[in-house]
Amino acid sequence: MGFDLQLGEYACIKLDLKYKEGFGEQMMIRLTNRLYAIAKQVQEGASVADIGTDHGYVPVYLIQNHIAKKIIATDIHQGPLKIAQNTIAEYGLQSYIELRLGNGLEVISPGEVDTVIVAGMGGLLIRDILSQHIETARTIHRFILQPMNAQAELREWLLKNAFKIIHEELAMEGQRIYEIIVAENGHQEIGERINLEISPKLIQKKDPLLRIFIQKKIQKQREIIAHLSEQNTEKAIHRLKECKDKLQQLEGVLKCLRE
């Protein structure tokens, strides 16, 4: 199939929503820890949009493992979508996944899917993707979000805009720990500010990576404090106080986990 689309156009691969019993001799895809942690938040029988699909690995996994009944894989750029097309073809799943070229949720119609994955982007970009098409977002049952940064800001936006966080999980690759946030429409109080940094969901479920996750945050705060201590500007002094307060809160959470 040719692949020369304009933004907002669809590269439609006809969907057959009936599962095959198997995929012949085709090998099964293996996901990284991060992508597997994302994929396992998808409920069986879900209709899924993977926004910013990149290589298309998660859609392939969801079809091969008979988890999703419908998948739309999207990206704003032709390059990544072409890579996803090649991945889908490599695993012989052209009849199961639809590719769409476009920005965020603009290529998804209200009610078309019940689950949306937005992973591997900055937290503020994820926030913008949801806020720019809030009417569509209100029709979606589950959001699986994996922000690369600004996680606290994303959580705050979700809670202030009638979304509730129902689950969180950590995944480690190399020396980096990734945060996966599962949200639905609903109401939830923010509570203490530290809850935006360290999700109560992670504490409640006793995530096995939580201690090392907090220790990394503590180390980062100490490094920032050391740097700010050398500055005398009003802005630096104000930021220094904020960082010391955050450090104290993080150390308090870590102490509670050890008790």
pLDDT (tens, 9 = 90+) of the chain, 259 residues, equals 344 444 444 433 333 333 344 555 568 999 999 999 999 999 999 999 999 998 999 999 999 999 999 999 999 999 999 999 999 999 999 999 999 999 999 999 999 999 999 999 999 999 999 999 999 999 999 999 999 999 999 999 999 999 999 999 999 999 999 999 999 999 999 889 999 999 999 999 999 999 999 999 999 999 999 999 999 899 999 999 999 999 999 999 999 998 7
Does the pTM surpass 0.85? The reply is yes
H-helix or E-strand spanning residue 177: strand 176-185
Q: What is the DSSP letter of 76?
A: S
Strands 10-11 and 68-75: unpaired
User: 142: helix, coil or strand?
Assistant: strand
CATH 3.40.50.300 fits 10-193, yes or no: no
Residue ranges per structural domain of the chain: 10-193, 209-259
How many Cβ atoms from other residues are within 10 Å of residue 73's Cβ? Answer: 29
